[in-house]
Amino acid sequence: MSTSPKQALLQEYALIAQALAAPARLMLLEQLAQTEASVETLAHKTGLTVANTSQHLQQLRRAGLVTSRRAGKTVIYALRDARTITLMGLMSEVAETNLAQVTVILDGLSGDAPTPEPLTRAELAERLTIGAVTLLDIRPEDEFAAGHIPGARRVSLGELETLIPSLDPSREIIAYCRGPYCLYAHQAVSLLRQRGLNARRLLGGLPEWREDGRAVQHGSA
């Protein structure tokens, strides 16, 4: 019995769903949303073995989600299509709306204390224009150097406690990180609010800001 065009088409769509149906591959896509990277770098970032990382990347490549190129003996991977970032964000939104356990996990990051609504990227752009916020990038140094929102100050979660005394308590503090799957900004906002500061997180992260067509600055702090 031959496969109908619709069945054939749905099988192709299912390749993408299958590629996304693994936490390890979502972690790899999150990393590639920051910048292109080698297999070895991605393995180090995600805590996977090089062999396992390579296998997951091959599946993502078969689904058309990533591309690869050679740089000498090194294989470099990158997102094929920036719309993958949008797809990842939609998955996050649907999960937060419909899966109770997602809410439980996120609420647990703030010790079940109420947290304010995240700031939209348009709102952040407006506040940055008038210098009304302190912007914190809660990502590793190499990701910050590869691209960050202009005016952001990089700080890791481990360094945040020592930074707090130097922050202006009269200014709103906005934290951001990698995007919808990154929890650094949630954790940073929780700590800052525990210390009595007016803190919120950005809706999305650096990849979404960049895909909006907004300016991105490169280089270390």
Same domain, yes or no: 151 and 193:
yes
* Full domain range(s) for residue 35: 5-81
- Report pTM: 0.92
Confidence of residue 2 (pLDDT cuts 50, 70, 90): confident
For 52-77, give one letter per residue: b (16+ CB within 10 A) or e: ebbebbebbeebebbebeeeeeeebb
Task: Give per-residue pLDDT as tens, 66-91.
Answer: 999 999 999 999 999 999 999 999 99
Q: 70 and 160, same structural domain?
A: no
**CATH of residue 42:** 1.10.10.10
- Does residue 1 register a pLDDT over 70? no
Which tens digit of pLDDT belongs to each residue from 188-220?
A: 999 999 999 999 999 999 999 999 999 999 998
66 bridge partner residues: 79
Question: What average pLDDT is seen over the chain?
Answer: 95
Amino acid making up residue 141: E
| Same-domain status, 21 and 55 | yes
Q: Is 220 domain-assigned?
A: no
Query: In the beta sheet, which residues pair with residue 154?
Result: 137
User: How many domains is the chain built from?
Assistant: 2
The residues annotated with a catalytic role in the active site are 177
Are residues 197 and 139 located together in one domain of the fold? Answer: yes
Per-residue pLDDT at 3:
80
Quick check: 221 pLDDT over 70?
no
